[in-house]
Amino acid sequence: MKHITSLLLILILAGCASTQTLKDSYEPPMVVENTLEKEFDAIPEPAKGKVSVAVYSFADKTGQRRPAQQGTTSFSTAVTQGAEVFLIKALQDVGKGKWFDVVERVGLDNLLKERQIIKQMREAYDGSNAKPLMPMKFAGMLIEGGITGYDTSTKSGGAAARMLGIGPQTQFSEDIITVSLRAISVNTGQVLTSVAIQKTVYSTADSLAVLKFFKEGTQVFEFESGLTLNEPGTLAVKAAVEAAVVELIKDGNKKGIWNFKE
């Protein structure tokens, strides 16, 4: 009878713990806070107006694959292959949109084809009186770079404590994403400034284990419940790109490429 009472008590406690875990894991969605928002938005504006820049690519140069379960093969990459979207958006928004004018170069082929279609249609209807398209805006500076590193499990560890076969366990691991960015003068081809930024990606796992033996060790009861949280790699890349843009502006100010408005 004592063993049955103990078993019921363990099940009730474990049920409460798992119910609490499920309740916490299904909270209403929240807007992700930008940890760089203060510096990203508050950086002083340029003294001589916006700088016209072009982004051709911002590729994944790591070659890393997403970790797969044992016995399986993963063809997914560890980081996003479309990071130029984050770079273009960061250049447009940094300093409340007062720093850069970004011209389209990622989809340049599509843009030129569409302009050619418009030109042909105007000539077909208006002939020699067809109104020409406005010239495309050129960029005085190229922004190049990429995701240059993805180091997995640079730090890992954990802790556990059990009493009478009952206790919690916590484990963690850290990955590091490295992003590089450089500004190149279109007029001279000179690399004006270059920066590298590292962002840590955290993963944690919490679990509760129960292990009990009954009837002189001939019967065993085992229960385990856990929750694993992995920081999204895509958001880590976005944060690293935004930090790289801020550092690029600050480094350019130190080198006299541009100046902050007083």
The answer to whether position 124 is within a domain reads: no
The answer to whether position 88 is within a domain reads: yes
What is the pLDDT, as a whole number, of residue 22?
Answer: 43
The answer to whether position 128 is within a domain reads: no
The answer to whether position 127 is within a domain reads: no
Six token digits for residue 246: 């801020």
- The tally of domains found in the chain comes to 1
Domain assignment of residue 42, given as a range: 36-106+138-254
The answer to whether position 219 is within a domain reads: yes
Whether residue 89 is predicted with pLDDT greater than 90 in this model: the reply is yes
The answer to whether position 207 is within a domain reads: yes
Which of 93, 87, 89, 86 has its CA nearest to residue 45? 93
pLDDT > 90 fraction of the chain, expressed in percent and rounded: 33
User: 26-43: per-residue pLDDT in tens?
Assistant: 567 766 655 555 788 888
- Would you say the pTM of this structure is higher than 0.85? no
pLDDT band of residue 242 (cuts 50, 70, 90) is: very high
**Which amino acid is residue 198, in one-letter code?**
Q
**Which amino acid is residue 20, in one-letter code?**
Q
What is the pLDDT, as a whole number, of residue 27?
Answer: 64
What is the pLDDT, as a whole number, of residue 20?
Answer: 44
Q: Count the helices and strands in the chain (H runs, E runs).
A: 5, 7
Q: Could you tell me if 209 and 167 are in contact, meaning their C-beta atoms sit under 8 angstroms apart?
A: yes
**In 3-state terms, what secondary structure has residue 3?**
helix
Look at 73-77, 125-129, 167-171 and tell me which has the smallest mean pLDDT: 73-77
Whether residue 133 is predicted with pLDDT greater than 80 in this model: the reply is yes
What is the pLDDT, as a whole number, of residue 17?
Answer: 47
The answer to whether position 41 is within a domain reads: yes
**Which amino acid is residue 228, in one-letter code?**
T
What is the pLDDT, as a whole number, of residue 18?
Answer: 44
What is the pLDDT, as a whole number, of residue 246?
Answer: 93
The answer to whether position 259 is within a domain reads: no
Look at 38-47, 67-76, 108-117, 199-208 and tell me which has the smallest mean pLDDT: 67-76
C-alpha angle 171/177/182, rounded to 5°?
A: 165
pLDDT > 70 fraction of the chain, expressed in percent and rounded: 81
* Average pLDDT value for the chain: 81
CATH number of the domain within which 170 lies:
3.40.50.10610
Whether residue 75 is predicted with pLDDT greater than 70 in this model: the reply is no
Q: Could you tell me if 175 and 201 are in contact, meaning their C-beta atoms sit under 8 angstroms apart?
A: yes
Six token digits for residue 204: 């944690």
